[in-house]
Amino acid sequence: MNVYCGIDWAEGHHDIALVDQDGAVLAALRIDDDAAGYRRLLDLLADHGDSAEAPIPVALETSHGLLVAALRTGHREVFAINPLAAARYRERHAVSRKKSDPGDALVLANILRTDRHAHRPLPADSELAKAIAVLARAQQDAVWSRQQISNQVRSLLREYYPVALQAFLVRQGGLTRPETRAVLAIAPTPGHAARLSVAQVRAALKRAGRVRSIDAEAERIKAALRTDQARHPALVEAAMGTQLLALLGQLDAACKAADDLAAAVEAHFPQHPDAEILLSFPGLGVQLGARVLAEVGDDRSRFADARALKAYAGSAPITRASGKKRYVGRRFVKNNRLNAAGYLWAFAALNASPGANAHYRHRRDTGDWHAQAQRHLFNRLLGQLYYCLHTRQHFDEHAAFAPPPATLTLAA
């Protein structure tokens, strides 16, 4: 007898429903979100025939957490159902739009009973791939947080301290550079900058780790910060300086987190068997390669073909057709992390690969905007990555961007 399990996930408890192939409810249970609750769930599944040879499939509305880790022991298939899709299924059973946690668990179980073939289980990635995914996503979040706080610092400096922006934005890294943060910490207002000595700036640069051209840089910074500018009243300026120091504390923490996580990614990513293949692609370094691996995974059965991977990444266009109307445009439902990494990958590939650059220029010449040409290049690189991962081959520039037959004929 086929049995299907649905779990309505919540923060403190979970509702479970088991149904058979005819839709009859075999069991309904509420468990706590702890180890004892997970054991009750596994015992309930075992009582209804769950075994290593014939595990009961489970559907729930999340793909993360300890509950999912407990369910993914062995070969059990776990399906993460999108909450929007689950809401549509709910309307098939209750047109009155009533809703309850036990009812939602029953809906999830029935999704597997009727439409299991239309949903994909969570990928069976290796433990190393899952660890890299945790680190790469955390590092990506830290970079985004660092940029957000940096933007807040920049906006604040424009309000009362514009000469600081002119002094530090000329250097690569801008406000996130250790020297910038060290100098702003001792001169958070124009008033402090007016009393700043070269020795103090020099000491701040040394604390930040600078070892070259310290004297010349200290003189440049002192002169730039003392440039004439309009100023707020003293109390207002002091208050803004206090706000800047608070933001600098957050920026220091974000920069340290990004650097520490980047070091952890650099230690783990090269250990993965797919790392050499990913790093053979133009534009992919350790950090970007780890982000791509984190979202693609190493379960080769996850994507049926290259088109599925492209749709998942959002690089492939989507077509909406009805009657005589037809629209082809970019995807909005996609893996946002992989899509963001893809634009960086395509941009970096322009200088690292002559073929990628020629492909991008061709798309621009045919009328694509910059973002469209980048997306098209990312789409092509993803197809090549799918092929290389399945055939265990490294990237080949000549095979990836071979000239079209017409060009070969003319050259001959």
Q: Report yes or no: 395 and 282 within 8 Å, Cβ to Cβ.
A: yes
In a domain, 123, yes or no: no
pLDDT at 410 over 60: no
pLDDT of residue 94: 72
Asked if 178 and 209 sit in the same domain, the reply is: yes
pLDDT of residue 318: 85
Q: Report yes or no: 107 and 90 within 8 Å, Cβ to Cβ.
A: yes
Asked if 259 and 352 sit in the same domain, the reply is: no
Asked if 53 and 155 sit in the same domain, the reply is: no
Convert the pLDDT of each residue in 262-294 to its tens digit.
999 999 999 999 999 999 999 999 999 999 999
Q: Report yes or no: 192 and 222 within 8 Å, Cβ to Cβ.
A: no
Q: What are phi and psi of 283, to 5 degrees?
A: 90, -10
End position of a domain, from candidates 87, 118, 149: 118
pLDDT of residue 238: 95
CATH number for the domain harbouring residue 73: 3.30.420.40
Q: At what angle do helices 178-186 and 198-207 cross, to 10 degrees?
A: 140
404 pLDDT band, cuts 50/70/90, is low
Q: Report yes or no: 371 and 317 within 8 Å, Cβ to Cβ.
A: no
Per-residue pLDDT, averaged over 181-199, amounts to 93
Q: Report yes or no: 193 and 225 within 8 Å, Cβ to Cβ.
A: yes
pLDDT of residue 406: 56
User: Using CA atoms, how far apart are residues 222 and 169, in angstroms rounded to an integer?
Assistant: 15
Asked if 174 and 100 sit in the same domain, the reply is: no
Residue range(s) defining the domain that contains residue 377: 276-411
User: Using CA atoms, how far apart are residues 166 and 178, in angstroms rounded to an integer?
Assistant: 17
pLDDT of residue 412: 44
Asked if 325 and 345 sit in the same domain, the reply is: yes
Report the share of the chain in percent with pLDDT over 90: 77
In a domain, 320, yes or no: yes
In a domain, 126, yes or no: no
pLDDT at 126 over 60: yes
pLDDT of residue 99: 83
Spatial CA neighbour of 6 closest among 97, 84, 71: 71
Q: Report yes or no: 280 and 384 within 8 Å, Cβ to Cβ.
A: no
In a domain, 41, yes or no: yes
End position of a domain, from candidates 63, 85, 118: 118
pLDDT at 1 over 80: no
Asked if 226 and 312 sit in the same domain, the reply is: no
pLDDT of residue 411: 46
Q: How far is CA 67 from CA 58, 76, 191, in A?
A: 11, 13, 56
Asked if 18 and 100 sit in the same domain, the reply is: yes
Asked if 315 and 224 sit in the same domain, the reply is: no
Per-residue pLDDT, averaged over 206-223, amounts to 92
pLDDT of residue 408: 45
409 pLDDT band, cuts 50/70/90, is very low
Which tokens hold the place of 270?
Answer: 């090269």
Mean of pLDDT over the chain: 92
User: Using CA atoms, how far apart are residues 122 and 119, in angstroms rounded to an integer?
Assistant: 10
User: Using CA atoms, how far apart are residues 266 and 275, in angstroms rounded to an integer?
Assistant: 11
Q: Which helix (H) or strand (E) holds 78?
A: strand 78-80
Q: Which amino acid is at 202?
A: R
73 pLDDT band, cuts 50/70/90, is confident
pLDDT of residue 172: 85
Asked if 283 and 405 sit in the same domain, the reply is: yes
Q: Report yes or no: 314 and 330 within 8 Å, Cβ to Cβ.
A: yes
pLDDT at 407 over 60: no
End position of a domain, from candidates 216, 237, 267: 267
Q: Report yes or no: 112 and 4 within 8 Å, Cβ to Cβ.
A: yes
Asked if 157 and 211 sit in the same domain, the reply is: yes
In a domain, 390, yes or no: yes
Q: How many domains does the chain fold into?
A: 3
In a domain, 291, yes or no: yes
Convert the pLDDT of each residue in 235-250 to its tens digit.
999 999 999 999 999 9
Q: Residue 192, CB half-sphere, CA atoms under 13 Å: how many?
A: 20
CA angle 21/108/10 to nearest 5° reads: 140
Asked if 91 and 11 sit in the same domain, the reply is: yes
Spatial CA neighbour of 65 closest among 148, 7, 107, 139: 7
Convert the pLDDT of each residue in 319-359 to its tens digit.
888 888 888 888 888 999 999 999 999 999 999 999 999 99
Contacts 24+ apart (CB under 8 A), 232-240: 232/160, 234/191, 236/160, 237/160, 237/189, 237/190, 237/191, 238/189, 238/191, 240/156, 240/159, 240/160, 240/161, 240/189
Convert the pLDDT of each residue in 38-71 to its tens digit.
999 999 999 999 998 899 999 999 999 999 999 9
In a domain, 190, yes or no: yes
Say whether pTM exceeds 0.95. Answer: no
Convert the pLDDT of each residue in 377-401 to its tens digit.
999 999 999 999 999 999 999 888 8
User: Using CA atoms, how far apart are residues 90 and 84, in angstroms rounded to an integer?
Assistant: 10
CA angle 371/375/377 to nearest 5° reads: 120
Asked if 311 and 336 sit in the same domain, the reply is: yes
